Amino acid sequence: MSRILTLQPLTAAAFARFGEVIEPAQARRTFPINAGTAQRFHDLARIDPGADGRVALGWVQAQPRALPFAVRLLERHPRGSQAFVPLGPARWIVVVADSPEAEPLAFLAERGQGVNYAPGVWHHPLIALDAPTDFLVIDREGPGDNCDEVMLAQVWTVAP
Amino acid sequence: MSRILTLQPLTAAAFARFGEVIEPAQARRTFPINAGTAQRFHDLARIDPGADGRVALGWVQAQPRALPFAVRLLERHPRGSQAFVPLGPARWIVVVADSPEAEPLAFLAERGQGVNYAPGVWHHPLIALDAPTDFLVIDREGPGDNCDEVMLAQVWTVAP
């Protein structure tokens, strides 16, 4: 039996226990730079590579997935945070859960919203929509295994 | 008297002594992820917040500047690296110099190319082109002054 996950808007409040929503509106400080020709939205996420890691920058080119989408697995990175920011205003889907046994939450990211998963947060791998989408990834490089993956006992379905 | 800077293509080789060009082609490792539905271009830049800093993530909304553009000042961040990646395939201009006394180099970034300035590299503040452009900024938060700015004795002009 497959259970249905209804997409909800990606808001900082709803996502707070999993990490941060990366978008200008979530800046802790905002100020003009470059003689007023630009505006900086500062310090949007807790980028955390752990005590023995360093921050690594990656680029992912993701093929779009179709809805309904079956959520069969989750992963987590216990040793560091992991942020994804689409390189443009693409829509994509963020699936997170408090544990592999809990009901996941499915968020629709829009308008270029990114997310930063806090260390250890269970999440589904990238789900691009609509078109091939490039993402910048800010995560961790360092010693030790940093990816746990689990197949779920229950398949969930993200509804269109 | 104003001297002319001719725009050159932003290549990893030409930019190497200032930092890294951030684009998929510069990945140290490339591999499929997410059951083959995405490709990861890994570890694109030496993100360095210094021994006493942490990596901070910012978002900048920059107004476009017109060419010819007068380069009157440079800045540097001695305590950490600073990366800029446009959130989309926008063109922009990267101006760097070996010192405030040296002739700057002016690069045209295209196709979504970003750059990471190594700690202490003299560079001009963001120069967007064509349209308002959003950038992701990956730099440093931490104790101590981390921005030196100098007015140049000689004005340089980036030619169209």
In chain A, which residue's Cα lies nearest the Cα of B23?
A59
Closest CA relative to residue B22, chosen from B49, B50, B42 = B42
The answer, for B159 touching chain A at a CB cutoff of 8 Å, is: no
Stretch (H or E) spanning B82: strand B82-86
Q: Give the CATH number for residue B56.
A: 2.60.120.480
Q: How confident is the model over A41-48, as a mean pLDDT?
A: 97
For residue B44, the model assigns a pLDDT of 97
Residues of chain B in contact with residue A86, where contact means CB-CB under 8 angstroms, are: 87
- CA–CA separation, B38 and A157 (whole Å): 21
| pLDDT band at residue B111 using 50, 70 and 90 as cut-offs | very high
| Segment among A2-6, A51-55, B104-108 with least mean pLDDT | A2-6
For residue B119, the model assigns a pLDDT of 98
Strand partners, A5: A158
Q: Residue B7: pLDDT above 80?
A: yes
Q: Residue B2: pLDDT above 90?
A: no
Paired tokens of A117: 């998963």
Q: How confident is the model over B82-108, as a mean pLDDT?
A: 97
Of A57, A112, A138, the CB nearest to B87: A112
For residue B1, the model assigns a pLDDT of 54
For residue A42, the model assigns a pLDDT of 95
Report which residue type is found at B149: E
pLDDT, tens digit (0-9, with 9 covering 90-100), for B33-54? 998 999 999 999 999 999 999 9
Helix (H, G, I), strand (E, B) or coil at A27: coil
Q: Percent of chain A beyond pLDDT 70?
A: 99
For residue A1, the model assigns a pLDDT of 54
- How close A84 gets to chain B, by Cα (Å)? 11
Number of compact structural domains in chain A:
1
Q: Residue A35: pLDDT above 60?
A: yes
For residue A121, the model assigns a pLDDT of 98
- Contact between residue A81 and residue A45 where contact means Cβ atoms under 8 Å apart: yes
Closest CA relative to residue A100, chosen from A149, A133, A144 = A149
Q: Residue B110: pLDDT above 70?
A: yes
Total H helices, total E strands in chain B? 1, 15
Averaged confidence pLDDT in chain B: 96
- CA–CA separation, B156 and A34 (whole Å): 17
Residues of chain A in contact with residue B128, where contact means CB-CB under 8 angstroms, are: 38
Closest CA relative to residue A133, chosen from A91, A74, A70 = A91
Domain that holds residue A146: 3-158
Edge-first strand order for the sheet with A19-22 is: A19-22, A114-117, A82-86, A133-141, A54-62, B38-42, B29-33
Q: Residue A2: pLDDT above 80?
A: no
Of B23, B58, B125, the CB nearest to A34: B125
Q: Which residue has the tokens 């694109």?
A: B44
